Every structure is written in structure tokens, then in C-alpha cells.
Amino acid sequence: MLNMKWKALLCAVFVFSLARGFAQQQTKRVCDTIRYEFIEDKIVIPVTVNGVVVKYIVDTGGQTGTDWEHAQKMGAVGTGASNPIADLNGKKQLYQIAEVKDVRLSPNYTLNSLKTMIFPVIGSFRSLGVVGILGGDAFAESVITFDAREKIMVINYPYRPDRLKVTDGVEMFGGDTRHSIIKMNLGGVEKEVLFDTGAGGFLLLNASDFKDIEEQGSGEKVARAFGINGIGLEGLSEPTEIDKVNVKEMTILGKKFSNVGSLTSELGSTIVGVELLEYGKVVIDYMRNRFYFFPFDTRDTDMGGVPKTWNVSILPANERFEITRIWDSMKDVVAFGDQVVDINGTDITGFPMSQPEIDRVMGAIEGDRAYIVVLKDGKRKKVEIKRE
């Protein structure tokens, strides 16, 4: 008798025609488990490319790219094509396209070839020990399952996982980029939302989408800031107005989340980030364009509303640490771009230009009050900051 537990989902029984042309030439059934590392909100897996053992970030919202140093070691060959890509912050850059051979994503799942964008050497990649990102295009002829409790990914090929019915999932609008975009109910408004394992957090709302939610009476603004949304492949985003908001209710494949806090941005789409995996298993069937979410707990989950955050944000910029986001309560106290030299007694002037280093210092502060020291016009100014 077949095992009815979840783990039985990880073996395939339904035959699927392999009519589409793809570099993947395997014919045997594959059901491989990959143990991943979760580093700084990123899913990192080992990969072997043309005999070179490396690590990549699995980024369902991105497209496959490799830094040029490792692409050379892998024997990448240019295709003569290039691709304009916008990163998390909306900044666009034209990247050359190359092809690498013999890409082993798991013990039994190998691609004869894979196209990859060629990135410059990126500091955040080096700090994570990775050479690039694997987008949905790398898994285009497979079904992948994310299980955060076990910290595993499972690759199925060419069949769906056992007992997985097409009707259990929803249509995915991946297009040529293979992005995991689905329709989702946000406060009574249906929107197309990208599930993006490359994005930290639970929900990041497009400002236009939130406006519709607010007009529906299902969302409210709590606070406003001026600053950047974060760091993408092309560095810091341009500063803009950012709202801290609360969505009264959202539904993901029948699972309801209430009081969901978020920040708005001018991104191309609303994003559900990697934090979704804390609440259930996700299956992405790239071959059939189906998306599945199996919650660990089917009861409604109260997310607690807008979480407290420090009323200033600090990031590496211009070879120093600067204030890069200011909430309304601090707009007359500090200015965007002010240099920060000390955080609550920790001298940061000798720190490497690393966001995780600053996050570690800020995260270690006990209580909701602290101070920073700002250096402006050669003068040091001690400023109280708060979580609010």
C-alpha cells in the first residue's frame, strides 16, 4: 500500500511526455533530495559544472547568472547574445549570455548545457561563498519541492511527485523567464504575485497594488519613510518614499494570513518572499506551470501586524556606512547619507563594507532604544534611535 504521508509526494507516478526540446537528455526517473544551507535568508545548494564544484543561490524570482571568474573556470562559451535584467531594486543592466556544459544539480539530475548570464564579481556573493544564482530557467524541465523544516529541496523528473494532483495547485504564469508568478487574494483584491526565494521576508507590496487594497478597506498605512529598498546586483536603489503598511488578510491556496505587515516599493510586482517556507511546503512544477502550497497548519495565521523596526537604516555606501532610510520620527534629526561611525558603542569604521555585519550589530541590541554616532562636517553627534 502506498504511503499517504507527505514524504510519498517526493516520488513520481504519472507519466509526462518529454516533447519539449531542452538540454536535459535524461530518460530515467529522478527523485533526488538536496540538502541546502540557509544563509542570510538565501537558499544555497552545491552544484557541479563541467567538473567544477561550486555553490549557487536558488532564486525563483531571478534568472541564472554566474560571476565571470567562475564562468571562465567552468569553460563557459559566449553565445553572442545579451540580456537586460532588472534586479530587486529595479535597476537594469545588460548582461552577456554564455553557455556552460554538464551541470549537475543533484546526484541524478544533470543538464547537458545551461545558459547563464555573466555577472561581475559581486561582494555579497563572495561573502555567501556562492558564484551566482540559479533561476527557474535552471529547473525548467523538473518539479522542485522546498521543505524548510528539513532544509531540503527535492527534484523530480520527468514525473510529478506521487499523489500530487494538478487540481491541488494553481496556474503559474512563468513565461519565458520561468518566474513563479501566481494569482493571489490580497485583502479581497486578486493580484499577480511573484514567489521569490531570492527575497527575504514574507510580503513586499508594490505601491500600486497596496493602493487597490487600501481602497478596498483592507489595508492601512502605519508609518512613512524616505530611503532605499535595499541592495541589488547593481548596488543601492534610488531613494524613494516607503510606507509601512498592514494588510488585514491575504490567502495563499486556501491558507489565510491576517494582519500581514509589509513595506511598499515601486517594484514591478508584489513579492512573497522566502519566509513563506516557514509556514508550509512549496512545490513548483515548471513543466506544467503549476504551483502548490501545503501549509504545516491549515488554521488561519495571525502575522501580528506591522513589526517594529529601527527608525533609521544603515548600509554600506560610498565606501563608508551611511543612513539610507529615515522614518518620519527622525526626519528632523538626521539626514539621508549621513555617515555613521558608531552603533550603540560599537565602532564600525573598521568594518568591511557588508550589510550582514551591520545587521548583526543592530540585531544584537537589547531593548527598543539605542544610539548611533553620526559624523558630519568633522563633528560627531550622538543620536538616539528607537524600534517603533
Average pLDDT over residues 160-166: 89
145 shares a domain with 253: no
Amino acid at 315: L
Predicted pLDDT at 90: 57
CATH number for position 381:
2.30.42.10
Which of 29-33, 89-93, 108-112, 381-385 bottoms out in mean pLDDT, i.e. has the lowest?
89-93
Residue 323 within a domain:
yes
150 shares a domain with 13: yes
DSSP string, 181-229: EEEEEETTEEEEEEE-TTS-SSEEEEHHHHHHHHHTTSEEEEEEEEE--
Q: What is the tens place of the pLDDT at every residue in 326-379?
A: 999 999 999 999 999 999 999 999 998 888 889 899 999 999 999 999 998 889
Give the C-alpha distances (Å, rounded to integers) separating 148 from 49, 197, 299: 25, 12, 19
- Its domain, for residue 378, covers 312-386
98 shares a domain with 175: no
Average pLDDT over residues 93-108: 95
Neighbours of 229 (CB within 10 A): 22
User: Per-residue pLDDT for 26 more than 50?
Assistant: no
The three cell numbers of residue 7 are 514524504
What's 308's DSSP letter? P
62 pLDDT band, cuts 50/70/90, is very high
12 pLDDT band, cuts 50/70/90, is very low
Average pLDDT over residues 176-185: 94
5 pLDDT band, cuts 50/70/90, is very low
CATH number for position 177:
2.40.70.10
SS3 assignment, position 138: helix
Structural contact between residues 260 and 250, judged by C-beta atoms closer than 8 angstroms: yes
Among 115, 143, 161, give the residue marking a domain's end. 161
Which of 120-124, 237-241, 297-301 bottoms out in mean pLDDT, i.e. has the lowest?
237-241
Bigger pLDDT: 355 vs 9: 355
175 shares a domain with 297: yes
Strands (E) located in 296-368: 301-305, 312-317, 320-327, 339-343, 346-347
152 shares a domain with 186: no
Number of domains forming the structure of the chain: 3
Among 161, 189, 215, give the residue marking a domain's end. 161
Average pLDDT over residues 175-179: 90
